[in-house]
């Protein structure tokens, strides 16, 4: 397909935005998937080694994908093969790379139809883990962070880990909680992503193993349609160290996404789930497209696609391919 970087750059510069251009006529392919090459740098520059691997694929069509003015154009390839086969061919280039993201996927939702995005909150919609920050206030950060890491890596059931961590927060004043809530740092690009999705008729929600006061704040900041998170018990002045009601764990996140989509009459194919931890994988599997956000290695490898670095606005690449 491409024999040199010069040939690739000339080819890419001649493409029109968001329109498939035929490259080769496949021999009645039984499966089709997509390869997306994206970067936050102004110039898309895959290596010669990657170009060689791409040239060996049964590429049927290509497109320049330009979903938003704040994103550089990406290259989309329509390949006449299944995801597993293409990932095997491109295995050397799928590891996180700050210069160039390579994603292989199939059957993504489209921005052109109403859809549902359900996001994790901590380290996904916002840059921090709220429970860790509360732990700093209680001077038990190291103990809580250790349990958090085990949960995010899948080494400890989430419900068990949450109860253990919350128990250590007994006595944290509600005044300190309110101060933390009012200073949540949003993940770069998430507000622009939500605004773009809302403008295109999408419904937005959070399903979080975190806590309702913080989810409510994020809901306000991002104009979300719904939230689902955990309730911390308090005595009117401080936390008691207990969680009330059903814990929002991996299965509960997936249940929420599935039920909410049903209520909205949105097909699974038009749903998208985003998260960074192992407790987000069940929700991702229940959605039309699972997106790892700056995820742990297990999550980045398991999710359908990944944004490993930079702005969450890059999620638009995956749902903006031509029809």
122 is catalytic: yes
Q: Catalytic residue, from 92, 120, 142, 304: name it.
A: 120
70 is catalytic: no
Please give the Cα distance from 210 to 249 (Å, whole number).
Answer: 10
**Is the Cβ–Cβ distance between 223 and 217 less than 8 Å?**
no
Give me the helices (H) in the chain, please: 5-14, 48-55, 83-89, 130-137, 141-152, 158-167, 174-181, 190-199, 212-222, 250-264, 281-286, 297-302, 315-318
DSSP code of residue 35: E
Report strand pairing: 239-244 vs 226-234: antiparallel
Q: Catalytic residue, from 70, 122, 276, 280: name it.
A: 122
Tokens for 191, please give them.
């507000």
**Is the Cβ–Cβ distance between 162 and 284 less than 8 Å?**
no
Residue numbers annotated as active site: 120, 122
């Amino acid at each position: 397909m491409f024999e040199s970087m010069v040939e690739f750059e000339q080819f890419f510069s001649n493409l029109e935005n968001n329109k498939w251009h035929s490259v080769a006529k496949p021999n009645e392919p039984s499966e089709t998937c997509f390869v997306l090459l994206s970067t936050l740098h102004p110039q898309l520059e895959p290596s010669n080694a990657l170009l060689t691997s791409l040239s060996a694929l049964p590429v049927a069509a290509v497109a320049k994908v330009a979903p938003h003015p704040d994103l550089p154009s990406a290259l989309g390839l329509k390949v006449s093969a299944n995801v597993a086969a293409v990932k095997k061919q491109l295995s050397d280039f799928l590891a996180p790379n700050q210069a160039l993201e390579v994603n292989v996927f199939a059957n993504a939702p489209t921005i052109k139809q109403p859809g549902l995005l359900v996001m994790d909150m901590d380290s996904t919609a916002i840059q921090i883990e709220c429970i860790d920050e509360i732990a700093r206030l209680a001077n038990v950060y190291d103990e809580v962070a250790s349990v958090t890491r085990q949960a995010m890596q899948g080494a400890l059931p989430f419900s068990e880990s949450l109860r253990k961590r919350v128990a250590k927060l007994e006595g944290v004043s509600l005044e300190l909680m309110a101060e933390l809530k009012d200073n949540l740092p949003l993940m770069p690009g998430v507000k622009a992503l939500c605004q773009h999705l809302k403008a295109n008729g999408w419904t937005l929600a959070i399903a979080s193993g975190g806590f309702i006061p913080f989810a409510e704040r994020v809901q306000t900041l991002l104009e979300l349609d719904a939230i689902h998170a955990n309730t911390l018990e308090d005595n009117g002045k401080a936390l008691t160290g207990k969680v009330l009601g059903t814990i929002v764990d991996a299965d509960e996140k997936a249940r929420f996404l599935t039920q909410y989509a049903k209520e909205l009459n949105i097909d699974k194919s038009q749903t998208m789930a985003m998260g960074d931890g192992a407790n987000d994988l069940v929700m991702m599997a229940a959605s039309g497209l699972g997106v790892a956000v700056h995820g742990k290695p297990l999550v980045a490898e398991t999710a359908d696609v990944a944004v490993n670095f930079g702005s969450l606005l890059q999620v638009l690449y995956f749902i903006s391919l031509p029809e």
